[in-house]
Structure 1
Amino acid sequence: MNAPRNSLASTLFPVGLLMIAMASIQSGASLAKTLFPVVGAQGATTLRLCFASLILLAILRPWRARFTARSLRTVFIYGIALGGMNFLFYMSLRSVPLGIAVALEFTGPLVVALYSSRKILDFVWIALAASGILLLIPIGQANANLDLTGVAYALGAGVFWGAYIIYGHKAGSDNGIQTAALGVLIAALFIGPIGAFHAGSALLDIGLLPAALGVAILSTALPYSLEMIALTRMSTRTFGILASIEPAFGALCGLLFLHEELSLTQWLAIAAIILASAGATLTSRPDSPQLVPAD
């Protein structure tokens, strides 16, 4: 009797960790959005990356890893992709509901998963994702309630997310988990001047410290740690399939914390993108980069 229970527990444990990680990421994004009136999306991105880099540097101590010129170049690109992804995502949140922004951003890793696909089924996922995107983008609608500039920011974040997956995979293969701390530091140095220019001395407001730390922990430190534990207990393909429901977590967090209500059409569009992402991961080649939460 104990063996089936232990087997079930060992299966559900990493799934539970991944669910908590995704909820944490989107809760962190919701908290970050509350900082926008004070420091803007640019400043909120800077605060998140700076505090997250300090936390990860202390935990992972990347200076103990051995880097070559080639691996450092890969880590540099990885860090720029990470910074650009976070920056454009937060910029999109100024005018686009959280769930929709996550769904649009997911097109980046979806393209990576479908890259060089030759199977007929893969084109079904492409068509499904495209249908979801078209339902979300209010082109030609007289009473459009979705800002096209915000949509463009979210899609741009998806491009950086795709690069993040590709170069993060390469950088991780060279130096493992310690690469993440250096990548976040590079991202902070890349985005920091933009946030400082926009927000100025407001970034030094001590009253922002609890929220900034909360964003860094919820969006980076906690979910990253939980994801790493989950990955050691499940296949990357299973991980990718489960990660595909992250837009739903974004929509729910937006509803609960930011009171962002979506229409039935928007929920259906998000569902289409989730299904396309899960299907693409399920039918991808075993050595393909997997969809992973990163926001």
Structure 2
Amino acid sequence: MTRAHASARIALLVAAALSVSGCAPGSADPVPTVPTGSAGGAAAGPIAVIGDSMALGVNSCSDMGECPAASWALGDDPTVASVSARLAGQEGASRPHVWAAKNGGTVADAIRLADTAVAERAGIVLILIGANNVCRPDTAAVTPVADFGAQYTTLIDTVRTGLPDAQIVALSIPDLLRMWELGRDDPEATARWNASSSCRSLLADPASDAAVDVQRRAGIDETVRGYNAAIAEACEADARCVHDAGAIHALDFTSTDISSIDHFHASASGQAKVAQVAWETLAQTLDG
């Protein structure tokens, strides 16, 4: 299949927490929770996100670090309009949240994090994972496509075994090469990248047009595309999994969609674009 708030109980699992200043979820009026009811074809139960820094809103707000309010998945920032917030609007109440995400998490981490979603009996499981498998200290540490595909299949199987009726939403990895393109001519961005140890497999020598660097970046782009094909294949093997057909990867991010803190993570407007695609993907499974 293709293309697709405040909670009464939040299970928060973050293995590598950063301190967050001024980024806590907003203080909007409480919304009643719905632990049993559901919209259309969605199973009853909490809504969970299995993911990495993007799910946690890292560097999406004004301060460095995690900002769950800006999360495309479970955030409560109205400018983002997260999947959870949109679902609450449709169902008339907010489902409990399950944060099964890790800053810097890979698909191998996601397999372990899935246990949290299972333990909380999630009815909807949103998955966006894989960028950290290709964003590595060097190209030798990048996860091969075949290994990624096998691990992602294990992730889907883990969720399905523990949650036989849950709706799984498998989302493609954003176009990381596009993130580099947006910052390569910005001296501040390249300075930040050169000073950081993050994602050297893509961001090393960011301004270089030497053949070896062009080839390295092209290899990273090809790997991301291979990962996304593997995500779609694993999802299509599960009758209650829907994927976005590469729609998040195809998003045309602009400079305003990228964090001014590290020039690589999504800003709040970037999170909003991801939320829109994720919602459209889930909405296909909802009746009415």
> Of the two, which has the highest radius of gyration?
1
Structure 1 or 2: larger strand share? 2
Same fold (TM over 0.5): no
Q: Normalised by the size of structure 1, how large is the TM-score?
A: 0.29
Higher normalized contact order (CA 8 Å, seq sep 6+, divided by chain length): 1
Q: Normalised by the size of structure 2, how large is the TM-score?
A: 0.29
